[in-house]
Each structure stands twice: as structure tokens, then as C-alpha cells.
Structure 1
Amino acid sequence: MAQTLNVAVVQTHLFWENPEQNRINLLEKLNQISSEIDLIVLPEMFNSGFTMNAKSVAETMDGETVSWMIALAKEKQAAITGSLVIKASDDFFNRLLFVYPDGTILKYDKKHTFTLAGEQNVYSAGKERLLVDYKGWKICPLVCYDLRFPVWSRNDTDYDLLLYVANWPKVRISAWDTLLKARAIENMTYCIGVNRVGLDGNGHEYSGHSAAYDVLGNRLDTALVTKDAIEIVTLDKSHIEKYRHKLGFLNDRDDFILK
């Protein structure tokens, strides 16, 4: 079990509906990291941008981007996660993949499809949360719009890290800022949100604001804000243990079942 976890938060512009160029761009950025990392976190639909043109960018689980993630995880000896458009049978999914350094893959299909953009008309919604066990850390990875629904992210499994990958637009960025911090505080967990920057093919602007919070809602990252950049954030298990034991807030959580 690792006492600390070094997480690379990748805040980047995305090339519209161009998986190959996005893979090239991301690899160039990741190859510049010189410090030791355990987990690489990419934005939502990191190889295409948040598109409703699923047919034009969809890949299978045997596709080039999944293979790229596996190769990258093995090369860097770090887990890598982010979402992309996956076709399975006749359905399209906004699917988050968590790829271990040995190539093992876990998946989470975004539950809350973004109705304002008509995502529910294109992508099938997921039904189950994913709990990842990595280096002794329990990680709950979710996708963008899931952030607005606290019941879905409720810490009823004593996870250590709540993770959101997103394409969250500038026009509603204050909600992103507020809710990320709230999720950390209410769940007494580390909470990291990774958002993109730049313009997409629909003219929507993204201002980043990727962030990492500790269990008290204190900000851990220092350099991201609106820049195209990567920051390494170090999480420490002792911080979680100290404040959960001292404050005991999770012991008083309401008991109900997710549906």
C-alpha cells in the first residue's frame, strides 16, 4: 500500500474530433514529466472533445486510443484514466477507462448524461459506479455532469479519492469551482477535477479551473487556473486518517440506498 499518491492533472486544449492529433499532443506533454507519478488523469472525451457526433469518433475497446492508453500506462508505469467515446454492440457510451500499469482495464459509463446538450439522445447512460483499488487507495472516478448529483458521489464506501474528468464550459465555471470543493468537504475525501481549456468545434469555451482539494476543502494545486499545463499533486493517506478520526463526520452520514 502506498502512503502517498502522485497524481498528474492534465489540463489541455483538445483538437476537435481528431483522436490521432490528441494522442500526439498528449504524449508530447506527458513525455515532459520528469518527476515520479502514480496516476495520470486526462479530461472527459480527451481524444475528441465533448461531441455528439459519436459515429465519427467512436472506437471499440480494441481501438487505437485504448491500445494507446495501455501502452502509455506500461511505459510510464503509472495508471491512466480519462473518458472517450466507445461503441459496444449498437450503443455509444461516454466511457471512463482506468488503465493499470500492467494493462488491466476497468470501466465506468457516465451515468448522468448531459440533457442540456442532448447527450441522452446519443449516449447510453451507465448504471453502476466504479470503485478502483490502486496501490491501496480507493478511488471513485466520475464524469463531468455527475458532479451536480451528490447522492451519486456519496462516500458510502470510504473511498480516499473522488475524481471527476470533464469538459465543463467557462459560462458555468463558478458551479464547477463550488461543487468540487463541496464534494471534498461533504465526503471527507481528496477530490480532484480535471477540465479542458480552449474552444471546441461548437464554439464553446473552456477555462480549465482543474483543481485538487483535501478533506477540509483546502486547495492543493497551485499552477493550473486557466493555463494549458500539467501539475503533479501529492496526496497523503495520513491526512485522510487524521481528520476522519478526529472529526468523525462520516460516522453521522445518513443511511440510504443508491438507486
Structure 2
Amino acid sequence: MTVGLRLALGQAPAALSGTAARLAWLDSILPDVADRADLLLLPELFACGYNISDAIVTRAETVDGPTAQAVAARARQYRTAIHYGFAETAPEGLFNAALCFGPDGMQLSHQRKLAIPPGFERGYFEAGQGCHLFDFHGLKIATLICYDAEFPETARHVTGLGAQLVLVPTALGSDWGWVANRMIPTRAYENGVYLAYANSAGTESGMQFLGCSVIASPDGQEAARAGADPEILFADIDPARVHVAQARLPYLTDRARLKF
């Protein structure tokens, strides 16, 4: 069994209008990504767009909807796993969600956003429940969506479940630089895991995105960092580095000794 993987992170243009344009952009990067990576991480609500008001409802799809089928077909065609955000419609309501399809086109993961932040999202989305890990290339992988990763408890929870890599599709505005530049590498460091944070770039309906996507290593260092423009990042994910980091700083075990 192959252990470890080559991760690609797609910092997509926020201004892509509609699902067809977003799939076309995906088509433009996949040949190069497929040659260089095992898994591609895309931003929050990549499939439909983020700052699109009521179009969130009309562009929402089921987990087996046409966009999911289109992404699965591309994953199978290019033999590369694809992880992306979308608006999910379900009998229980509307959710900010993410799906991952493996290189065989089969679904590897489905995660709903746990914490709905202040702002327009609370007018549309229900909160999801539970964290779901999946196995790929000998790694245990978790998904946290944007605001979810800003809580120390969520990253600690999925690490406790065994996650070695945490994928975070996000839609971070330009006025939240501290989150991408300081908080996210800290989450990786304090848990001894890889954390990949995929943002959009540019402007969508008046909202300026920060960009600054990052793949943070278990020691808190940046394996790859984007600027403000659309970009594709690559980094090797080595589970041995997770073991080394967690042994060097055993926060996960030593916390049980704390007495308050």
C-alpha cells in the first residue's frame, strides 16, 4: 500500500460565474494537476460560488447531483481524487458541504459544515453534525469547512479520531488575514498534523477574497503558501512527520494529565 501522497491545492478565481464556468476552470488545471498530485483540494462552495445570495438555493444540488457526477467523472478520467465544496440540498435542509471523489470516481467523503458563522450563511444553511474521516494513500483524512477550523476543539477532535491530514475548503475575506496567516499554521502545530486551507482569490459580487491559501506542516511550518491571485500549490504529505511531531510535542496525551 502506498503511504503518503502528493497534495494539490487549487486557489480558484472567485469571479467564475456559475457551475459550468467553474467546471471549465477545473478542466483547465486538471491535466497538470493529475501529472503531479494524487488529490486536489478546492475551496468552499467551489461548485456554485460563495457570495451569490439567493442563487445559493437555485444552484444547490443533492450529493449525487449533476455536478457531483461531473466531478466524479473527471476524477476517474484523470485518476486523481478531487475534494470540493458545494451547496447541498437534502430533506433535512440546505447545507454548506464538501465531497471527495477518489481516482476510481467513487465517493470517499461527504462532510457538512458544523458551525455556521455570522453573516449571510445563517440565512441559508443548517448546521451539520459529526466529523467523518476517510482513508486514502495510507492516510487518515478529515474535512473541516472554513469557520469550523477556527475552533481549537474541532481540529483537536478530528486529530483524536486519528486524522493525519485535515482538509479545509474556505471562503475567507480579505479582512481576515490573521486567520490564514497565523491561526491555521497554529492549528497544524498544536495537533501535529498537516492542515491544507484552500481559499478563493479575487472578487465575487463585491466580496474581496484574501487568497493566501496554505498547506501547513505538522511542525507549523508552511509547506506551500499562495499569494492573492489564483494559484495551484503542491506539497508532499508524509505521515512519518505526523508521528515525529506528535512524539516531540505530545499535547494529545499530556492534556489528560491536566488538572483544573
Q: With the length of structure 2 as denominator, give the TM-score of the two structures.
A: 0.90
Query: Contact (CA 8 Å) 2:202, 2:229: kept in 1 or not?
Result: no
Deviation (angstroms), 1:246: 3.7
Query: Contact (CA 8 Å) 1:184, 1:213: kept in 2 or not?
Result: yes
2 CA distance for matches of 1:177 and 1:56? 34
User: What is the aligned partner in structure 1 of residue 72 from structure 2?
Assistant: 70
Would you identify which runs of 4 or more consecutive aligned residues in structure 1 move more than 4 Å? none
Query: Contact (CA 8 Å) 2:8, 2:232: kept in 1 or not?
Result: yes
2 CA distance for matches of 1:253 and 1:130? 23
Match of 1:171 among 146, 171, 175: 175
2 CA distance for matches of 1:145 and 1:183? 13
Deviation (angstroms), 1:172: 1.1
Deviation (angstroms), 1:47: 2.0
The AA in structure 1 aligned to 2:255 is: R
1 CA distance for matches of 2:103 and 2:253? 34
Deviation (angstroms), 1:227: 2.4
Query: Contact (CA 8 Å) 2:116, 2:125: kept in 1 or not?
Result: yes
The AA in structure 2 aligned to 1:85 is: A
Question: Are 2:196 and 1:192 aligned?
Answer: yes
* Alignment RMSD: 1.8
Unaligned stretches of 5+ residues in structure 2: none
Higher relative helix content: 2
Unaligned stretches of 5+ residues in structure 1: none
The AA in structure 1 aligned to 2:93 is: D
Question: Are 2:14 and 1:14 aligned?
Answer: yes
User: What is the aligned partner in structure 1 of residue 114 from structure 2?
Assistant: 111
Match of 1:96 among 98, 112, 118: 98
The AA in structure 2 aligned to 1:67 is: Q
Question: Are 2:176 and 1:160 aligned?
Answer: no
Q: With the length of structure 1 as denominator, give the TM-score of the two structures.
A: 0.91
CA gap 1:22/1:40 in 2 versus in 1, 3 angstroms: same
Query: Contact (CA 8 Å) 1:160, 1:240: kept in 2 or not?
Result: yes
User: What is the aligned partner in structure 1 of residue 208 from structure 2?
Assistant: 205
State how 1:1-259 maps to structure 2 within 5 Å: 1-15=1-15, 18-33=18-33, 35-50=35-50, 51-53=52-54, 54-89=56-91, 91-105=93-107, 106-115=109-118, 117-154=119-156, 155-201=159-205, 203-221=206-224, 224-254=226-256
Query: Contact (CA 8 Å) 2:8, 2:235: kept in 1 or not?
Result: yes
Query: Contact (CA 8 Å) 2:15, 2:203: kept in 1 or not?
Result: no
The AA in structure 1 aligned to 2:113 is: K
Query: Contact (CA 8 Å) 2:200, 2:211: kept in 1 or not?
Result: yes
The AA in structure 1 aligned to 2:214 is: A
Query: Contact (CA 8 Å) 1:14, 1:22: kept in 2 or not?
Result: no
User: 1:13-68, CA deviations, whole angstroms, 9 ceiling, x for partnerless residues?
Assistant: 13455111111112112223363311110000112221442222112223221011
User: 1:75-104, CA deviations, whole angstroms, 9 ceiling, x for partnerless residues?
Assistant: 121211111011112611111112122222
Query: Contact (CA 8 Å) 1:139, 1:160: kept in 2 or not?
Result: yes
2 CA distance for matches of 1:157 and 1:62? 27
Deviation (angstroms), 1:6: 0.4
Identity of matched residues, %: 26
The AA in structure 2 aligned to 1:213 is: A
Query: Contact (CA 8 Å) 2:10, 2:41: kept in 1 or not?
Result: yes
